[in-house]
Amino acid sequence: MLDPQGLYELADDLPELDSVVLIQALTGFVDAGSAIQLSREHLLEEFESRVLATFDLDQLLDYRSRRPPMIFVEDHWESYEQPSLALHLVKDLTGTPFLLLAGPEPDLQWERFIAAVRQLIGRFGVSVTVGLNAIPMAVPHTRPVSMTAHATEQRLLGEHESWLQKVQVPASVGNLLEFRLGEAGLDAMGYAAHVPHYLAQTSYPAAAELLIESVANSTGLVLPTLQLHEAAAEVREEVDKQVADDEQAGRLVTSLEAQYDAFVRGRDSNLLAEPGRNLPSADELGAELERFLAEQTRDSD
């Protein structure tokens, strides 16, 4: 294992912990609907927390690829939004402690960073690590948010059903961390919320709500999500209005609804759709999606 010495700094007066849950919420690779960001902001804003360890981002972050914002006012620089990657100690509604690894995904030194996280897992007695993710999928916003669950051991998944068989995707630090923990015999799992791909670049609180609820259900932590639920209802109402005013967007959503419903009905028999149903092709859906997103971008501008 690579030496993680000097990659992070511990806070003073560290607590003695045992069998705690670690939630990792790293952003920078794929965060459809900003669901990971919304989830970690919800956890840090709604519950008592303190920082236990801070990572040295000068060793981990490529500032040129993800330049932090600065504010210029008239004749001077007023502020700099300094990025932070830290391990937080958080307490749920009942006072039960858990850990939250929050911040940008490292661009550099992945294996050394993972070695550092493994060191912290041992230092604080982590029993299971749970990763948060959100990916764009061909699903309609008018249906319940679905997700893909994965783990180092089947027993961690409970009754979750798989949406995918075999697929090759670009690696991320979060997924590699889960893989490395599994190699070391440590329990780790993750949830990837499915965000409608025509809403992937907007804020989608319904996905964050599902992520937090999934963590709570699998770990026993008490993590209310009322604010996320209310925000999700507001977003749903606004999207419904926009779709109702756009005939082509309405056809896209209708096509996705048919595809989604057929998939759900056919899961027991491993069918992706009802026989004879002419579902839209990937190219057709992609063309509709690009047009819809382009219009939304012009409206925002």
For 46-104, the pLDDT digits (tens) are 999 999 999 999 999 999 998 999 999 999 999 999 999 999 999 999 999 999 999 99
DSSP string of 31-42? BGGGHHHHHHHH
62's CB contacts (< 8 A; 6+ apart) are 107, 108
Residue 40 to residue 27: CA distance in whole angstroms: 10
Decide if pLDDT at 275 tops 60.
no
Average pLDDT of the residues in 226-254:
94
Q: Where are the beta strands (DSSP E) in 141-234?
A: 147-151, 188-196
CB 106 within 8 A of CB 237: no
* pLDDT score recorded for residue 159: 76
Question: Residue-wise over 158-186: b if at least 16 C-beta within 10 A, else e?
Answer: eebeeeeeeeeeeebbbbebbebbeeeeb
pLDDT class of 135 with cuts at 50, 70, 90: very high
Q: What is the mean pLDDT of residues 155-180?
A: 85
Q: Which of 268, 256, 274, 18 lies closest to 124 in space, CA to CA?
A: 18
Q: Is the pLDDT assigned to residue 292 strictly greater than 60? A: no
pLDDT at 241: 94
pTM reported for the whole predicted model: 0.85
